[in-house]
Amino acid sequence: MPNSTLLLAQKLIARPSPTPDDNGCQEILSHHLGKLGFKIENMPFGEVDNLWARRGTTGPILCFAGHTDVVPTGPVENWDSDPFIPTIRDDRLYGRGAADMKTSLAAFITAIEAFVAEHGDHNGSIALLITSDEEGPAIDGTVKVVETLKARGELLDYCIVGEPTCTDKLGDTIKNGRRGSLSGNLTIKGIQGHIAYPHLAKNPIHLAAPAIAELAQTEWDQGNEYFPPTTWHISNINGGTGATNVIPGTVNMLFNFRFSTASTVETLQERAHEILDSHQLDYDLKWELSGKPFLTPKAELANAMSSAIKSVTAIEPELSTSGGTSDGRFIADICKQVVEFGPCNATIHKLNENVGVEEIEPLSKIYQLTLENLLTK
């Protein structure tokens, strides 16, 4: 017989919710939570639906965080089954959001239901922070809820983000941090002219080349115990009119730092400007910070989750900071211990996204045991 976590995951997947559309998913979650005595707060900002729910009034507060929005499906005809009709084939659950991250949301709920049934008078508080703006610009989602909670002094002790973290088997990886993301939009100025009269022009691409080489070869830091060294990469570069006989007047570059806690935003910006200035370039540079790095040392939360994972799967999980950004970067502003844990991530954002059915109930059990490890002792 299908387990309750699987049934709830299927119910959520069946609600098409391409970012930022929640399409009633949070209402489904609220229905379950209301029965457990949670205080429900809907926090809409712009087009984004956000949910803050809390059971209890004392600390410590353990928060489950996640998102109901999903990335676009791409051409539906390229899927083996409708991405919004949850389908089980060969013991795998298929559908957009199956891995990222509606199965985790379902597991949050069933884990809390099982925990409260056994520990109705548990210590502290349980909370959920759910948004429909994680896969989009992430402007009106978790960051706005965090700002609201911070303004009223409602800080968290522990947070589990349900992102798909595992690589080969459920339980093999916990994310205990993420790198920061700092982007630059760089325009280097020259003088446009006829390519046959180069003495009357100044080619910005030629001027930029030595600086680009130095930026690419610079060691920004050496990383640390948890993070690899900071990296700098160009993602786009464009210059010229499209003609073969015109020296361009400008060249534009988009680049990105993925940086660890071994560097700061300010030090990276300062060093980039120093390199550009050393080459005597005439340039404009606009910066955009998508998120600062965060790191949770191996302490109560990581230990509690590791113990739960080992009890359920017999696997000793690895702590990792690899991958892109997540909403954990916002939550870390009001919570000292943030980890991410969810199902295998091999098919996220792909056609035929899926999760192993055999992972679903154990995922719920891991969340339940983590609650027991932190709120019953």
Task: State how beta strands 156-161 and 335-340 pair.
Answer: parallel
Q: Is 134 a catalytic residue?
A: yes
Q: How far is CA 79 from the centre of its chain?
A: 25
Q: Which H helix or E strand runs over 237?
A: strand 231-239
Q: Are 229 and 223 in contact (CB under 8 A)?
A: yes
Q: Are 142 and 117 in contact (CB under 8 A)?
A: no
Q: Which of 21, 22, 49, 134 is catalytic?
A: 134
- As a whole number of angstroms, the distance between CA 352 and CA 90 comes to 13
Per-residue burial over 40-65, b = 16 or more CB atoms within 10 Å of its CB, e = otherwise: beebebeebbbbbbbbbeeebbbbbb
Three-state secondary-structure class, residue 278: helix
Q: Which of 21, 69, 135, 359 is catalytic?
A: 69
Helix and strand counts by DSSP (H, E) for the chain:
9, 19
Length of the chain: 377
Catalytic positions, written as ranges = 69, 134
